[in-house]
Structure 1
Amino acid sequence: MEPLGDDELLYIFDKIPYYDMQDKRSFPQVSKQFMKVACIRLYLLNTCFPDMLFDILPSCSNMRYFSCSKPLSNAHLKLLAQSCPKLLSLGLSLDLDPSSEPGEFDIIDDGLCLVANACSHLRKVYLRWRLDVGDTGIVSLATSCKNLIHLHLEGCVHVTDESLKAIGETGVRDLSLVGCCLVTDLGLEYLANGDLKKCLQKLNLSKSDKISDHGIIHLQQMVGLTELNLSKCGFNVTDSAIVTLFTQLVNIEILDLSWLINVTDISLLTIGSKCLKLQKIYLSGCEAITAEGLRAFTGHETLKRLSLFSCYNFSWEDVESVALTCMKLEYLGLMKSIKTPMPEASFDYLQIERRFCGIDWDEDSDYLFW
């Protein structure tokens, strides 16, 4: 009896009911030929074993979603580019647990360029902590992948304003630049002056400490923004830019200004009166905030979450007087060392009419919420 060909095996594989996952998983374990056939129908692969990719990827012409959190070589990405032209999502965020060894054999721009050119249908790309990725790879993604809507570059320390110039001409809706320490005010200007300003909804600039008021002000052109993170952006972000910004960004729903020590009540008065869709605001470490700033949120109709860790210049009575007027408030983050702290009898929550608002108390905190 002649061995079964690939077509016959594929017919058998397709006859296995979609709900019988155990048999689906057992099929490729029979032999390399069975695995090759099963891979033809593989649409999603999430692997922690890069060495297996040389056996798996050549048959994955229908792959749509690929992710790997371990170090990869350019040879891996070259094979991915050759094998998976229909790819829609590329998840290469690096796992930084102690067993990981990023760096020496990790991907660099050459491999990323190959993927960008071959997989032009990409919509989502995640490159967290890929330390060797730089402008060449990101510019290639931005220019080749016209459908790109999610781009996360957390910890990509070689990304500069040149990448942002290219990204500014895309239709990206969700952009994360956390810890991209070479990004400056010029990069924000590039983002704001391109097509991106018409579609960007989420922007995370946390730990971008080379930006200042001059760059932040350009973001006021992005009137579609619903989420913005400026936490830990340093001493050069002040009330001047925040007030100008949130006079325009009235659709903001989630805002993180944590550890901006030069943000004061002046900013909160603008945010509270202009941002009427605001649901979550994180102000941890904004030590200049006082009861006057808190009162800016009195009667706010959409506010659900308010974080005030490492803020001390108000009392429990100040917090309570504001919180009781916010009918949708679900969470408060406070310090035990504020003036006249909350009584022990109602330590973990605050009752607002028939609802309960949970309260977290902390002695000291360096939390970054997002």
Structure 2
Amino acid sequence: MMKIDLINAVLPDELLQKIFDHLESKWCRDACSLVCKRWLNLERLSRFAISISSSTPESYIRLLSSVYVNLRSVYIDERRSVSLPVQCGKRRRGAGSSTTTRFGRGSNKNASDNKTGTSCLSDSGLETVGGRFAKLEKLSLIWCSNVTDLGLRSFAEKCKTLKSLDLQGCYIGDGGLAAVGACCSGLNDLNLRFCEGLTDKGLILLALGSGRNLKSLGVAACAKITDASLEVVGSHCKSLETLSLDSETIHDKGLLAVAKGCPMMKALKLQCINLTDEALQAVGSFCLLLESLALYSFQKFTDRSLYAIGKGCNKLKNLTLSDCYFLSNKGLHFVATGCPELVHVEVNGCHNIGTTGLKSIGKFCNGLSELSLLYCQRIDYDALSEIGNGCKFLQALHLVDCSSIGDFSICCIARGCTNLRKLHIRRCYEVGNEGITAIAQNCKFLSDLSIRFCDSIGDEALISIGEGCPSLQHLNVSGCNQIGDAGIMAIARGCPQLSYLDISVLQKLTDRALIDLGEGCSFLKDIVISHCREITNIGLSYLARRCMLLESCHLVYCPGITETGISTLITTCTRMKKVLVEKWKVSERTKRHAGSIINYLCVDL
């Protein structure tokens, strides 16, 4: 009996396109486009973004523009490798045709002679992008070093609908940026990161031309951009909502102008060593809608700055303080009392912030959902007790090198924050089995657990996790020397949804653990087994045969894994995308069949 097409006969084009719009994976889209010609054409119409290498020939760009007519976003990166398209028309096998394996396209001798495909994006190529993609709204040029002012000017003249432009690492001058300001009046997002050729003149002309619609501006490592251009931004970019500055040439004067002239500011990220309290006090006074504030490596900010933020920015939700040595518990208290809507707090290397400031966060910011404490040596053993008491909605906790935090604090979190879904702990040597067991008993929704290099945690903790956290998907126990087969086997039996596992540097681990993982964790996609001296080909082969969804595997410094084990892994796991291994463990035959997915620990010098 002939098969009946029950989809194409019933579903109209509009509904099929709606379905394609909800496919986020490129793999899924490509699979749908192979069903039939109708689906191929509809999928092309519903694709709005592409990512290509800057080595892509102009002829290929013209082909893409004719195929994907509704593209809104084009991402071009010089660091990406180029993949030339298959010639249109019927496929033919012959002496001159290239071969294709499931691991990658075979080489074509004639392709190496095509110099067009190996050159970086030029001005004429950029002009082609502007002229051929009629509906383009977003363009990212990442480290496209051959593009000059001439190309950017030609592009801007042809693509006046542009709304977002990323010029990271491009040596663009003032003329190109001025042309964008003059032609692209709807521009609202601009990233100037590592654009060393720009000066104040270019940014000023852009602000004068299209500044009224600009909502997001990023400037980093542009040594010739100073306060002068920021003053113009402050006076002409009234709609600015997001500003990111990483500069040694910006002083208080520039940020003061932006703070006073841009009352819509919602996100501010600063790494400017010459700013002082005066600049941040202006932010607290004028940017009353501020929701996100990140301060990095400031040696001149004091608690006066945070007092101004706490007093004026009551809508603040995200706060990051990194390497700000003169901020103390007092400043964090000001923010906690003045900004009760905080949901994300990160304190990184601020040596004068300790237990008292953290307790203020727990007492006044009851809606906190994520807390990160990195390299905080002044936080005591009971620092998290107030967080556990007050922050019932906490979902993520990150602790790195907090030497005084131990089981007592983790138990407080476990009892009070039962909605915890992510717990990352690294080099907190006082945290042991008791704390992790409490997490397992109380936090039933835990899906991501990382306890790297915590020497006091052993099998007992993992057995509790296996029994109490069936939703666990990500687990990293790298460097936990007390963990052996019993703990990993308990995870294999109790956490069937596990998709990521790092068991590197576990000296006690044997093949028994891998065999149990193969039996219980069929959804495993990524595994790291490096520095496991007792693992052999037997355990690896069993894991490969059972975990058919494996996509990446790290296997360096495993003396029991040989050339045979690597070959078995690659031939068995048909979805494998990356294998990290020593070069001498890969046979010539494996290199020929799977060279594109193999990454080596080191290369020959």
Query: Contact 1:176–1:205 (CA<8 Å) still a contact in 2?
Result: yes
The answer for the alignment partner of 2:478 in structure 1 is 231
Instruction: Check 1:141–1:335 CA distance in 2 against 1; reply closer, same or farther (3 A cut).
Output: same
Aligned positions of 1:197-208 closer than 5 A? 198-208=444-454
Q: Alpha carbons of 1:36 and 1:243: their partners in 2 closer, same or farther (altered >3 Å)? A: closer
Is this contact kept in 2: 1:113–1:136, CA < 8 A?
no
Please tell me whether the aligned partners of residues 61 and 83 of structure 1 are also in contact (alpha carbons under 8 angstroms).
yes
Aligned length: 330
In the alignment, which residue of structure 1 is the partner of 2:489? Answer: 243
Partners of 1:34 and 1:178 in 2: how far apart?
A: 37
The offset of 1:53, in angstroms, is 3.1
User: Relative contact order (C-alpha < 8 Å, sep 6+): which is higher?
Assistant: 1
Q: What letter corresponds to residue 42 of structure 1 in structure 2?
A: L
Shift of 1:345: 9.3
Q: Match of 1:232, SS? A: coil
Which sections of structure 1, spanning at least 5 residues, go unmatched? 1-15, 95-101, 364-370
Worse overlay, 328-337 or 30-39: 30-39
Task: Give the secondary structure class of the aligned counterpart of 2:363.
Answer: helix
Q: CA deviation at 1:273?
A: 2.1
Is residue 2:533 matched to residue 1:278?
A: no
Q: Deviations 1:116-160 (Å, cap 9, x if unpaired)?
A: 111111111111111221333211112201111011011111111
Is 1:184–2:432 an aligned residue pair?
Answer: yes
Deviation, 1:37, is 4.6
Which secondary structure does the structure 2 equivalent of 1:281 belong to? strand
2:510 aligns with 264
Of 313, 318, 340, the match for 1:60: 313
Letter in 2 for 1:350: A
Contact 1:27 1:38 in 2 (8 A): no
Partner secondary structure for residue 92 of structure 1: strand
TM-score (norm 1): 0.82
Using the TM superposition, give the Cα deviation of residue 182 of structure 1 relative to its aligned residue in structure 2, in angstroms.
0.6
Aligned twin of 1:325: 572
**CA-atom RMSD, angstroms?**
2.5
Matches within 5 A, 1:97-136: 103=351, 106-136=352-382
Q: CA deviation at 1:297?
A: 2.6
Preserved contact between residue 388 and residue 413 of structure 2 (Cα < 8 Å): yes
**Counterparts of 1:328-347 in structure 2 under 5 Å?**
328-338=575-585, 341-343=586-588, 346=591
TM-score, structure 2 as length reference? 0.51
Aligned to 2:347: 92
1:218 aligned onto 2:467: no
1:337, CA displacement in angstroms?
4.9
Partner of 2:259: 28
1:172 aligns with 2:412: no
Give the match's secondary structure for 1:125: strand
Structure 1 residues 203 and 250: CA distance shift in structure 2, 3 A: same
Residues 581 and 598, structure 2, Cα contact 8 Å, conserved in 1: no
- Structure 2: distance between partners of 1:35 and 1:313: 59
- Give the counterpart letter for 1:255 in structure 2: L
Query: Residue 344 of structure 1: CA displacement?
Result: 9.5
Partner of 1:359: 599
Change (3 A) 1:164 1:34: closer
Cα 1:241/1:145, change in 2 over 3 Å: same
What's the CA shift for 1:36? 4.3
SS at match of 2:572: coil
* Per-residue deviation, 1:253: 0.8
Q: 1:202 to 1:109 in 2, by over 3 A?
A: same
For 2:594, the aligned partner's letter is L
Match of 1:19 in 2: 215
